[in-house]
Structure formats: C-alpha cells, structure tokens
Amino acid sequence: MTTTLILSNLSPDISSSALEDMFSIVGNVRSATVLQGGFAQVEMATPEEAKNCVLHFDGQRYEGVTLVVRQKQAPRPATVRPVLRHRAVASKALRRAIAAVPKN
C-alpha cells in the first residue's frame, strides 16, 4: 500500500528526479511529481517509509529553504449539519404550540 507525502515550501527549480533521489535515501519511491507554487507529491512504497521520510526531511533546509513534509490526509466525508434538522423540528413544534393557544 503506497502512502503519498505532500511537500511544500520548495524551490521552484527542483525537479521530480531530484526529489526521487533525495527521498530514495529513506525508502522506495514509487513516484515524485512537482506541482506549481512550490508544492510536490512523493509516493512512498509503505506507510512506514513515508513516516520515516516525514521524520527525516520535515524542517530540514534544502537549497536555501526549509522543507515542510506531511502525509496526505484522506478526504473527510461530508457531514450533515444537525442544527438545521433541529431548527426545522423546533419551528414545527412552535407552530403547533401557537396554534393550540385558545383565542379570546
């Protein structure tokens, strides 16, 4: 199972092959992709190797900048806002209560 790392604060001159060479010191690199804006993704072969890369490279200086290395987080599932559901129930109960009040 591969684990993806997100790198930020990279020099704009860095290449995918340089990232592969750098991270292969710690483990097996499946792929390395340089993105725009000083970001990159490096895919490691195992979660243990990815964790070791974070411990080894996060906060280290490379080409004059401090690297930020994090494991990519799984997307969070969308959640239902229970407040809206409770508002609807409360307003329905309030309408019933108002309707039940005898009129003089």
Q: What is the pLDDT of residue 66?
A: 92
Whole-model pTM: value is 0.68
Q: Helix 47-57 to helix 16-23 angle, to the nearest 10 degrees?
A: 100
Q: What is the mean pLDDT of the chain?
A: 85
* pLDDT band, residue 37 (cuts 50/70/90): confident
User: How are strands ordered across the β-sheet holding 68-71?
Assistant: 29-34, 40-44, 3-8, 68-71
Q: pLDDT category, 78, cuts 50, 70, 90?
A: confident
Give residue 97's pLDDT: 78
